[in-house]
């Protein structure tokens, strides 16, 4: 949603390039993301504001000029103000729909079809589906958070731990082997074109990573974040 705001990408670029961090590529990337996140929180609170409130304020302007127009003819200047109010309201409605579409994860519907209500319901449904207040493991009902954590970890440890009683024997299976040349290619470092192509081929609206940044961020800001990313890949192979 923020990337639809005029000048937002330039703002991020200036912030990113203004953050001075020394160290490895991976360290600099992490440090810059953390500082950028704090700047975005301040910008969202002080500049962008509350989405719903901004939309309501824009709607009030539209309704005001509609009332004035119903009472008398508008001047040229007033017509320009009315047009600006309509455009402002349309902008906030579009941003709101973008926000709820992303939150809903319903990526098969297109933006601009005014599906905000549906997106809102799906986002709420996902939140309810992801919430866990109780669970049953091996016939035992658990409701306390700490108990759930411990039992879940223990259940996976039992499922994934190697048993000394039985082990699969794959010695008699025949597998296709790659050539030495193909094996050598697997060890080659990734080049910029490959990293960029893989990144751009992903869906930008998928859930964000542990750092909170979505793929849309990396795709939109590749031209100025790629330095740290490529250095991180280079350090990995070294």
Residue identified by tokens 């909170």 is 212
Determine the pLDDT at residue 171.
Answer: 78
Residue 47: DSSP 8-state: I
Q: Is residue 54 part of a domain?
A: no
The predicted pLDDT at position 58 comes to 82
Length of the chain: 238
The Cα–Cα gap between 179 and 185 comes to 10
Q: Is residue 143 part of a domain?
A: yes
Helix boundaries (H) for 21-50: 25-43
* Domain boundaries, position 149: 134-158
List the one residue out of 55, 51, 75 whose CA is nearest residue 65: 75
% of the chain beyond a pLDDT of 90: 15
- Considering the domain boundaries, does residue 65 fall inside one? no
Please check the confidence at residue 125 and state whether its pLDDT lies above 60.
no
Number of domains in the chain: 1
149, part of any domain:
yes
pLDDT for position 115: 54
Whether residue 145 lies inside any domain: the answer is yes
Cα Rg for the chain, rounded, in angstroms? 26
With respect to residue 140, please indicate whether it lies within any of the assigned structural domains.
yes
Cβ atoms of 237 and 203 within 8 Å: the answer is: no
| DSSP codes of every residue in 158-176 | HHHSPPSS-----TT----
According to the model, what pLDDT value does residue 129 have? 60
Helical (H) or strand (E) element with 137: strand 135-137
In sequence order, which ranges of the chain are alpha helices (DSSP H)?
A: 8-18, 25-43, 51-71, 76-104, 116-130, 145-160, 180-186, 192-200, 215-220, 222-237
Report the range out of 12-21, 95-104, 146-155, 206-215 with the highest average pLDDT: 12-21
Q: What is the pLDDT of residues 177-191, one digit of tens each?
A: 889 999 888 888 888
DSSP state of 140: E
Residue 142 pairs in a beta bridge with 135
Answer yes or no: is pLDDT of 102 > 70.
Answer: no
Any residues with CB less than 8 A from the CB of 93 and at least 6 apart, and which? 55, 114, 116
More confident residue, 30 or 107: 30
In a domain, 109, yes or no: no
pLDDT (0 to 100) of residue 52: 77
Distance of CA 50 to the CA centre of its chain: 19
Confidence of residue 40 (pLDDT cuts 50, 70, 90): very high
Asked if 35 contacts 19 with a C-beta cutoff of 8 angstroms, the reply is yes
- How would residue 11 be classed by pLDDT, with cut points 50, 70 and 90? very high
Number of Cβ within a 10 Å radius of residue 192: 12
Q: Is 80 exceeded by the pLDDT of residue 220? A: yes
The answer to whether residues 65 and 82 touch, using CB atoms and an 8 Å cutoff, is yes
Structure-model confidence comparison of residues 133 and 136, the more confident one: 136
Of the candidates 32, 54, 91, the one whose C-alpha atom is nearest the C-alpha of residue 213 is 32
Q: Is the pLDDT of residue 105 over 80?
A: no
Supply the pLDDT for residue 108: 45
Q: Would you place residue 13 in the very low, low, confident or very high pLDDT band (cuts 50, 70, 90)?
A: very high
Element spanning 74, H or E: none
In a domain, 148, yes or no: yes
Q: What average pLDDT does the chain have?
A: 81
Q: How far apart are the first and last CA of the chain?
A: 38
């Amino acid at each position: 949603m923020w990337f639809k705001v005029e000048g937002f990408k330039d703002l991020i670029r200036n912030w990113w390039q203004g953050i001075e961090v020394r160290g490895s590529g991976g360290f600099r990337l992490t440090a810059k993301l953390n500082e950028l996140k704090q700047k975005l929180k301040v910008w969202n609170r002080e500049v962008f504001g509350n989405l719903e409130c901004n939309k309501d304020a824009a709607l009030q302007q539209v309704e005001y000029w509609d009332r004035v127009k119903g009472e008398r003819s508008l001047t040229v200047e007033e017509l320009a103000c009315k047009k600006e109010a309509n455009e402002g309201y349309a902008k906030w409605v579009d941003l709101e729909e973008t926000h709820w579409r992303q939150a809903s994860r319903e990526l098969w519907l297109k933006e601009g079809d005014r599906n905000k209500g549906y997106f809102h319901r799906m986002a709420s449904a996902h939140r309810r589906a992801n919430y866990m207040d109780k669970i049953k493991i091996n016939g035992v009902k658990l409701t306390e958070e700490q108990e759930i954590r411990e039992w879940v970890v223990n259940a996976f440890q039992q499922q994934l731990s190697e048993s000394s009683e039985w082990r699969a024997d794959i010695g008699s299976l025949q597998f296709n082997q790659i050539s030495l040349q193909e094996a050598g290619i697997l060890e080659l470092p990734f080049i910029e074109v490959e990293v960029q192509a893989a990144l751009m081929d992903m869906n930008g609206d998928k859930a964000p990573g542990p750092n909170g940044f979505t793929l849309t961020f990396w795709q939109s800001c590749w031209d100025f974040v790629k330095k740290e990313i490529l250095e991180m890949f280079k350090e990995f192979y070294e």
